[in-house]
Amino acid sequence: MIDPRLADIVKDVIGDDALELVEHTTAADVDGWDSLAHINIMVAVEEEFGVTFTSDQLGRFRNLGELQQYLAEQAS
């Protein structure tokens, strides 16, 4: 189950409210999730969740589940 706040960000940036997002979803699975959309998503996640990714992290998460797990760790 993907956090609705995270899912909304991806849906807004991609412009598709009907996207099915699960933990193993990767950029390659989603039409329109290109490098530009990726940046927009990461910026929005930083704002929404109050985190600051390192340069390395910005490109490292392999799927939504990994990103979500990282966010959960930061929140705890």
Partner 1 sequence: MSDPGTTIPTVEGLDGKGALRIAKDLAAEGRAAEARRWLHHVVDRSDDLATWSGAAKLLPRLLEAAPLSRSARVAVLGSSTTAQLATLLPLACARTGLHVEVYEAPYGQYRQEVLDPASALYAFDPDVVVLALHDGDVPLPLVSDDPATALADAARPIERLWELLGQRTRATVVQLNFAVPPEQPLGHLGPSVPGSRQRLLLELNLHLPAVAPPHVCFVDCAGLAASVGTRTWFDPRYWHLAKQAVAPRCLPLLSRHVGAVIGAALGLSRKALVLDLDNTLWGGVLGEDGLDGIRLGEGAEGEAFVAFQRYVTELQAKGVVAAICSKNDEHLVRDAFARHPAMVLDLEEVAVVAAGWDDKPAQLRRIASDLSLGLDALVFVDDNPVEREAVRQLVPEVDVIDLPSDPAGYVRALADYPYFATTRLTDEDRARGRQYRARAEAASALAEASSLEEFLDSLEMVATVEPVGPANLARVAQLVGKTNQFNLTSIRRTETELADLVAQPGVLAKAVRLRDRFDDHGLVGVLITRPVDDALEIDTWLMSCRVIGRTLEHAMLSRLARRAVDGGYTAINGTYSPTPKNGLVADLYPRLGFEPVGPPADDGTTRWRLAPSALSVRTHVRLDQLAADTGKAPA
Chain residues that interact with partner 1, rule: CB under 8 A: 8-9, 11-15, 17, 35-36, 39-41, 43-44, 46-48, 53-55, 58-59
CA distance 50 to 26: 22
DSSP run (H or E) holding 41: helix 35-49
Q: Which is nearer to partner 1, 35 or 76 (CB)?
A: 35
| 29, 23 Cβ separation under 8 angstroms | no
Smallest distance from partner 1 to CB 50, Å: 13
Minimum CB separation of residue 38 from partner 1 in Å reads 9
